[in-house]
Structures are given as structure tokens and as C-alpha cells.
Chains A and B, each alone.
Chain A
Amino acid sequence: MAQDTLLEVDGLTVRFPSVHGPIEAVRDISFAMGREKIAIVGESGSGKSMTARAILDLIRPPGERIARSIRLDGTDLTRLSPRQMRQVRGGRITMVMQDPKYSLNPTMSVGAQLYENWLIHVGKPKRLSRAAGQKAVLEMLEAVQINDPPRVARSFPHELSGGMGQRVMIAMMLIPQPELMIADEPTSALDVTVQMEVLKLMDGLVARNGMGLLFISHDLPLVSRFCDRVLIMYRGRIVEECRADRLHEAQHPYTQGLLSCLPSYAQRGHPLATLSRDAGWEVAP
């Protein structure tokens, strides 16, 4: 574990009411991370995305977030007012979503959106000039390895490919120089060749800016090569935590099952292993 803790989540639960009584999407999870790349992996419904949303206080009523504390570099986010939380969100913590198509405003040029974001988080608080903002926007687009930043700044989201859109999103999320970036399946909507480029890019940016990265994914092989540590979630609980490069040594039968059910050339002619779920996995370890 990293020495200086960036984010510390203690006893986080996310609960939704339903006809059959309350459903807990996230159940009393705790973890801590430094300025490192940490992955939360699980199947759909495991609560991995809910965890990300809960950290940013984005759980919509009637859902509710319960936590003993969520500390970002010492600040307890659960004690902030909604107004203070808005400044954390998109400022100290930013989030990259799965599909840039739905995260960018279709009626504004990319440059205008980046500039607006800069204005809110950098320009206004620091009373910087418009020219400084436009320069910052182009620099950010360059930082995410976009070839012709002025041209891309003038274009609209629908004119961009998926990979390009996701680079723009990452540029947008870098502008406030966040301490923590949350990426929720940032490459799942992209083609494999583009996927690798975007991951490489994120890797470099995280290292250079000294951010923490919380990477939400369903793809175990992918995070094992990309991240430092992996948290495996099952039905709202963290069932296992291990170093990413030691994932093949994972102890929990669920993690082992997720790894062994993947198809490959070597498996041809043999039935794939399937997961026999154990009710015991749902109980806290």
C-alpha cells in the first residue's frame, strides 16, 4: 500500500428501496489508495460503478449513501455541503465515463466545452485572461496526443471518432489538475487498437501529473496489465484485493473463476469453466 493515502473510503454502503425491501448495491466496503492506479473489477451488478458514483455523491434519491467517512487527502467528503461537494466534483476529483458520445454536449464545439470547464475550475478562481484559457485548452488537447489541436477544438463531438472523443474527455478531466481521476469503463466502447492507445495515454498522464486513478472495469486481463492493485467486487462487497501483476495467484474462488472462464485458442475443444456461485461469498470475510 502506498505510504501517503490519497483516498480512504470507510464503511461505504449504497442502498436503494424496492418493493421487496431495501437492496444494498454496495455493502459496507472500505479501502484506501495512494497516488496509484487502482482497479475495481466485477461483473454487472457487483456495485463497482455505484462505488464510484457514491464517492462523488452522485447517488440519486431514493437511493442513499451511508459511509463512516470518505477522506480525500484528509478532507471528509461526507461532511461537505452540497456546494462544497460541487467544487470537489470536477475539480479535485474528475470522472471519465464509458461513452464520450453521452458525456459531451452535442451542440457545443469541443474547444468551447474545454474552455468552459477551464473557466469554472481554473480561470475564474485564479482570475486568468481569456487568452490564457484558450492556450490551456490547446495544451490539454496536445497532452492527450491529438495531432491538430486547433482543428479538433473547432469540431463538434459528432465529428470525432470514439477514440478521439475519449481523448477529448480525458483532456477535459485533466484541466482542473485533479488529485484523483475516476474512469468508469473508459475503453469499453472503443475498438481494441484504439483501446491500447487510450490506456497508454492515461498511464503516462497519471504518472506525469502524480494523480491517483480509480479504474472501474469488468476486464480482468486488461486491468492486470494496466493497474497497480486490483479490488474484486462481488454483489456489493470487496471479496479480494491483490497486486495486479499477481492476479494469477488470486486466492478467492470468485476471482479464480473469473480468470478461468475466459475463452482462448488453448481452450478449443474443451468446455469453458463456468462459475458456480457460492452463497458464502456474499458474507463478509
Chain B
Amino acid sequence: MNKNPSSGMIEVQDLSVRYGDFVAVKGVSFSVAAGETFGLVGESGSGKSTILQALAGLADDWSGSMSVDGLALVAGARRSLAFRKHLQMVFQDPYGSLHPHQTVDQILSSPARIHGFGSIDRRIAEVMEAVGLGPQFRFRLPHQLSGGQRQRVAIARALIVEPKVLLLDEPTSALDASVQAEILNLLVTLRHERGLTYLLVTHDLSVVAYLCDRLAVMEKGSFVETQPIEALETGAFDQDYTRRLFAAAAR
């Protein structure tokens, strides 16, 4: 692995991802600068989540090149722990992404142990405070938490290893509007405090409008266009498909 300090935090060149015979992502390239929030927008089946899966190591059959913070990934090779530490992920469904038999304490201590952090007790207390979970939640099981609290646990689990990049896969679409607002506020605060880089996948343009600096619109595995976020205000899109999507969301 060679480090290239001049490049962006996330560099993806000509990425293609397959599931068996199906090509879910076709030759996609993009770059996300450190501290930037980049949104991937598209309808179901457009391949937006697949890009996150490939970056997170959950889809193995890919080609092209990907690097995070200068650490290049090699297709088919085992990822180093250092790479995994840089890049963590928050899943869509907070009901499914937490193990039903593990307490918050167990869920949070596992990544800290894997990455060899010391003073785990203190670390868990700190990260829980950072995501706005009181100490009384520490030994609860997921079913004793609300949806918003669970998503906070999922965010804390991603943060406890001090990553540089968070992959956010529809992080609020399973939540009620009022809870969504709390989680979005939390994500904004954490980005500011920790200098995080976000790669956000969502179908909700209003979330993109609020959170992202740039967005890419996907259709059938390819980028239709990439625009700065101001385009959502002015509607200045180049492609017909994007304009339709934008019109449907703006209603």
C-alpha cells in the first residue's frame, strides 16, 4: 500500500461491482475531499448502496481502484485493519444492525477490542456521551431502546474506532421525522467536531439538501451527473432524468 497525500479522502476510479452475472455498478469514478459530505442519490436498484458495500468490503466482486486516505484497496486482497479503522459504516435499519442479544456495552466494546484500543470502559463512556446517549443506556439490550436511540448506538459503534470516513446508508429513512431531525443534527455536530468525511446514500433529496456539499445522481449503475448542492436550490441540472427526480421530490 502506498500513501498518496495529494489525493482526496475517498478516491474511486472506474469502479464496477458485480453480483454474479449482474453488473450493479458500471465504471463509476468520483473523489471526496477530506471533510466533505458527498451524497449518492438514485432510485432503488440504481447501484448507490452497492458503491458503499464495495467500499466497506461487503461486496467482493469489484474492479477498478478505490483508496481511502491514500490507502489503496486491492480487489480480492484481504483488507488491513488500518484500512477498516479509517472507514466505518452506519446502516439503514437500526433494528437489524444491532445484535439482538448484545447490550450496548457489548456492541461498543467489540470494535474497540478488535482494533486494540486500551481503556475501553472510558472510551465507551466518551463515545456514548458524544452521540447523546446517557450512561443509563449502557447495559440495555436493543429491544429496550427506541429507534433513534438504536441509531445513536450504531453511530457510536462506528465512531469508537476513530474513523476518518463514515459511510451512511440511508441512516434516517427508517426513523420518524422528529427522530430524523435529531440524528441529522448529531451527524452535523460530529462532522464538525471530528472532521469526518461522509459518503451518504439516500433516496431522500431533502436529506441530501440539508447535509451534503455535492451530490451524484445514479441510474442503472452509472452516474447521470454530479453537481454541487446549490443545484438543488436552483434546479440547474444537465440531465432530464435528474430534473424528473428533482421535480418528483420537490412535488
Contacts and interface: CB of A to CB of B under 8 A. Distances in A.
A267 B207 CA distance: 10
Contact of A258 (B178, B182, B184, B229): B178
Contacts of A43: 176-179
A190 to B, nearest CB: 9
Contacts of B229: 265, 268
A271 B211 CA distance: 11
B248 A192 contact: yes
A225 B251 contact: yes
A75 interface: no
Contacts of A275: 178, 181
B175 to A, nearest CB: 9
A218 B176 CA distance: 8
Interface string A174-206: 000000000000000001111110000000000
Contacts of A265: 206, 209-210, 229, 232-233
B248 A196 contact: yes
A262 B179 CA distance: 10
Interface in A20-70: 43-44
Interface in B198-251: 203, 205-207, 209-211, 229, 232-233, 244-245, 248-249, 251
Contacts of A193: 43, 244-245, 248
B181 A44 contact: no
B185 A272 contact: yes
A195 B209 contact: no
B225 to A, nearest CB: 16
Contacts of B211: 263
A218 B203 CA distance: 16
Nearest to B244: A193
Given A263-B184, A264-B206, A192 B178 contact: no
Contacts of B43: 191-194
A274 B178 contact: yes
Q: Is the interface of B mostly helix, strand, loop or mixed?
A: helix
Given A191-B44, A274-B182, A275-B178, A262 B249 contact: no
B177 A196 contact: no
Contact of A274 (B44, B147, B185): B185
A191 B43 CA distance: 6
B59 interface: no
A270 to B, nearest CB: 9
A273 B184 CA distance: 11
Nearest to A263: B210
Nearest to A222: B251
A275 B176 CA distance: 11
B188 interface: yes
Q: Which residue, of B147, B178, B182, B206, has the highest number of chain A Cβ atoms within 10 A?
A: B178
A5 B229 CA distance: 48
Given A195-B248, A263-B206, A264-B206, A274 B176 contact: no
A244 to B, nearest CB: 13
Nearest to B182: A274
The 9 nearest A-B residue pairs measured at CB = A263-B210, A261-B181, A191-B43, A272-B181, A275-B178, A43-B176, A265-B209, A192-B248, A193-B248
A162 interface: yes
A264 B210 contact: yes
A221 B205 CA distance: 14
B180 interface: yes
A43 B248 CA distance: 23
B245 A268 contact: no
A273 B176 contact: no
A221 B244 contact: no
Contacts of B206: 262-265
A118 to B, nearest CB: 31
A274 B205 CA distance: 20
A271 B184 CA distance: 8
Contact of A257 (B147, B178, B209, B233): B178
A268 B210 contact: yes
A220 interface: yes
B251 to A, nearest CB: 6
Contacts of A271: 185, 188
Interface in A246-285: 257-258, 261-265, 267-268, 271-275
A274 to B, nearest CB: 5
Contacts of B251: 196, 221-222, 225
Contact of B44 (A162, A222, A258, A263): A162
A264 B176 contact: no
A25 B58 CA distance: 39
B182 to A, nearest CB: 5
Contact of A220 (B177, B184, B207): B177
A192 B210 contact: no
A108 to B, nearest CB: 25
Nearest to A194: B43
